[in-house]
Structure 1
C-alpha cells in the first residue's frame, strides 16, 4: 500500500464510462479474455517490493504457456473495489483479480469462478484458504497470511523498567502507566480515521476475552452480540481511549501509515499491526533494531479465554467468471502462488506468505514468533463479518470514542445489521 499507481480523475472516469458501455478496460483500452492474453488487476504489481514476486510468477507461467501474454494492471488501492464493481456490473474486465480475504471477496463471489477443481495440488502447501471461501466453494488462492500481532517496543519497555509484557489486561494497563510516566510514550498507536482501528482491536483482543466456544461460534456465524463477553471487547476499546492509553486523536489518525509511524518513532510502546508488507515486523525493523521489535500474546481479560494469534488468508488471486479460458487463468493463479514466487515476496517485502514451506529461520525474532504461533492461531474475528457490518462497526467505533453512543447501542445496531444482511 505504500506505493500506488495513481490515475488522473479523468482516466478513472473514463474507465467507469467504458465499462458501463460493456467493456471494462484497463489503461490503454486492454480488457481481459482475448486470445493468447491474460489481464490481471491488482494493487501490488506496481510496488517495487513486489517486483521480484511478479517476475518469478510470470517466469513460472511462461514455462507452461510460452505463447500466452500476461499483463498486470496496477490499480490504486483506495479506488480498487469501486473500479472492480464497475467491471462486475458490466460483466467484462480482467481475467484474474486480487482480493482481500473475508467480506471483500465473499460479497463478490457471484462474479468469480470457483477454483476448487483447478488448485487441488496446492491445498496442503498453502494456508489461509477459508478467507476466500463461501458456501463450500473456494474463489481465490491465498498469497499472504494476514493477522494482527500485538507488537511492542522492547527498548521502551526496558527504559521503563518493565521486564516483560503483561499477561493480564489489568497488569497491561498498569505497565502502560509506568511506560508513559518514565518514557513519555503512549501505550497504543491507534488509527481509526477510516474505522480500521476497531477491526484490529476486535481481532487482536478477541481471543483474550471470548471463551474458545464463543470464539468458534463467532467464526461459524453464530454471533451473540448481546453477550457480556462481546460487549466487553467494545468496553475495552472505549476504556483504553478514556484512560489515555491511545495516542491523541485516534479518530483523526489514519491507520496507513500515520498510526504505524507513531510506533516506529517510539511515540507509542505498542501497536496492533499486520503480517503483510506494511505495518509489520520488517517494516518496523527499518526504524527500530530488529531485536527490539517484540510480539506479545493478547493480555488475558477473561480467565476462561485462550489467547491466540488471529490470522486468515490476507490477499489472494481469483478468476473472473467472464474469463474466456478459466482453466488458463487458474493456471496463472497457480503461478502467482508458486513456491519460488511466494518466497521472493516474503524475502523482499517481509510479508508472511501463505506457503508454509518457506524457511523463515534467518528472519528477526518477531517474524519467528509469528510463524511459530500459526499452528495454534484462529481466524480473525472481523474477517468473518460482512463488509456492510465492518463498515458500520467502523462508524460506530468512532462515535463510541467520542462518547456519542453507548456500548449497548453499538452492539444492538451491529446485531440488526447482520439480521438484515
Structure 2
C-alpha cells in the first residue's frame, strides 16, 4: 500500500470535502446523498474482483427501493480513514461507509447509527458481529470474516524432509522445522513489518498457543495484564524471531502488503501469517503454490495445556452515518450488501470468507476446508480488541523490538499505559 505524508492526506481530505476530485475514487468528492440518493464510501467497490458483489447488492436493493439511486465512491485505502475522519468532523459525508472491524469502527461510533433494530433478521445468518459492536450496540453489518491463519508451503516441507501432513504442534518443533527449512535455502517466516502491522498478526496468530483460556478471554473482555509472563512471552518470541534468523532479511523494511506475501508464494519462505479474506489469503496463494501445496497450521503450543484456536472476527462491514436523510433506507442498503447472493459473488470472485454462515466454502481446497472447520471453534483475534491508538504504538514499538533498540519490559509498560487511557 502506498503511504503518503500526513499533510498530503489532510490536503486530499480537504479537497474531497470541498467538491474537488472525482466521484469514482482517488480522493472522490461525493459526500452525502438525499431522500432518493445514497452515497457509499469504501475501498473495495473499485476492484475488479468486487464487481459482481456490488452488482448483486445493487440489484437486491433496487428491488426494495426502485426509486433510490446508489452511488459507490471507491477511496484509496491508504487515505481512507483520513478522508473519513475529515468527513465525520464536518458532518458531511457518505450515507453508508465501509469499516474494518475493531478499533477503526469503535473509535467512530459517535458518527454512526446503531443498526440493531434494522438488522435483527440477519443475526442468525451472519457471523462476526462483535467486531462492529461497542457498549452493546451494533454499528455495521459484517460482510466478511477476517482471521489470521498460519500458512505453510508443503513443497518446502517435503524438500526439507518434514512431513507436510503433520505441521509442528509445539514451538520447539517449529524451531526444529525452521532449522531444516533454512538448510535448503529458504527463510522460515516471511515477515513484513514496515507498516508495523506484522506484530498485530503475530499477536493474534500465536497468542492462543501462549495464553491460557482464562487469560485469552480476559484479554478480549478488556481485562488485559500486559505485564503477565505469558503476554511478555509473546513479545519475547517476536524478538527471538529476529535474533534467531527465522524471518526474511530486513523485515522492518519489508512491506506486508504485498512484499512479505510475495516472498511466501514465490517459495522463498516456508511460513507466513496471512489473512483469511481480501489479500494475502488462500486464493492468492493458490495461484502460485496450487491448493495441494498450501497448508494451514494452528499456533504452535508454547504453554503446556493450552488449546490453540483460529483467531477471527468480522473483517469488513458497512455502517450508516448519523447525518443520512433516511436511516431505515440506508440500513436496507447495508442488508443488501450483506445478502446471501451478494456475498456468494464476493466469495467466488475475490476469495472472501463471507460472514454468511450458509455459504459453503469448503470445496475451494484443503486450506479453505481447514479454515472453515477451525472457524467453528475459533476465538476473536487478540489485536482487534485493542484501540487504534494502542495498535499504532504497538507497531512502532515492534520495529524497535525487532531491531534490538528496546526491551520487552519497556514495550509492555508503554502498551499498558496506552491501553489504560484508550
Same fold (TM over 0.5): yes
Distance 2:243 2:30 in 1: 52
**RMSD over equivalenced CA pairs, Å:** 1.9
**Does the 8 Å CA contact 1:193/1:255 hold for their aligned counterparts?**
yes
Q: Who is 2:162 aligned against? A: 162
Deviations 1:260-306 (A, max 9, x none): 00001000000000011210011001111111100001110001321
Q: In 1, Cα distance between the equivalents of 2:188 and 2:109?
A: 40
CA contact (8 A) 1:33 1:325 kept: no
Question: Could you tell me which residue of structure 2 aligns to residue 216 of structure 1?
Answer: 217
Q: What residue number does 1:389 align with?
A: 390
Change (3 A) 1:300 1:10: closer
Alignment partner, residue 247 of structure 1: 248
Measured in 2, the distance between the counterparts of 1:187 and 1:87 equals 43
What SS does structure 2 have at the residue aligned with 1:152? Answer: strand
1:7-22 counterparts in 2 under 5 A? 13=11, 15-17=13-15, 19=17
CA distance in 2, matches of 1:365, 1:274: 16
Change (3 A) 1:26 1:138: farther
Q: Distance in 2 between matches of 1:395 and 1:94?
A: 32
Q: 1:86 — aligned with what?
A: 86
Mark the CA change 1:287 to 1:14 in structure 2 (over 3 Å): closer, same or farther.
Answer: closer
Shift of 1:35: 2.5
Partners of 2:91 and 2:271 lie apart in 1 by 45
Q: Count the aligned residue pairs.
A: 414
What's the counterpart of residue 50 of structure 2?
50
**Structure 1 unmatched ranges of 5 or more:** none
Q: What's 1:200 paired with? A: 201
Task: Give 1:161 shift.
Answer: 1.0
Which runs of structure 2 are paired with 1:99-110 in the superposition (5 Å)?
99-110=99-110
Aligned equivalents of 1:195 and 1:53: distance in 2? 31
SS of the equivalent of 2:355 reads: coil
Q: What secondary structure is seen at the aligned counterpart in 1 of 2:44?
A: coil
What is the CA deviation profile of residues 322-347 of structure 1, one whole-angstrom value per residue up to 9, with x for unaligned ones? 10101000000000000000000000
**Aligned equivalents of 1:382 and 1:114: distance in 2?**
24
TM-score by length of 1: 0.95
Q: CA deviation at 1:171?
A: 0.9
1:52 is displaced (CA, Å) by 0.5
* 2:31 alignment partner, SS class: coil
Task: Look up the match of 1:76.
Answer: 76
> Which portions of structure 1, spanning 4 or more consecutive aligned residues, are displaced by more than 3 angstroms?
9-15, 23-26
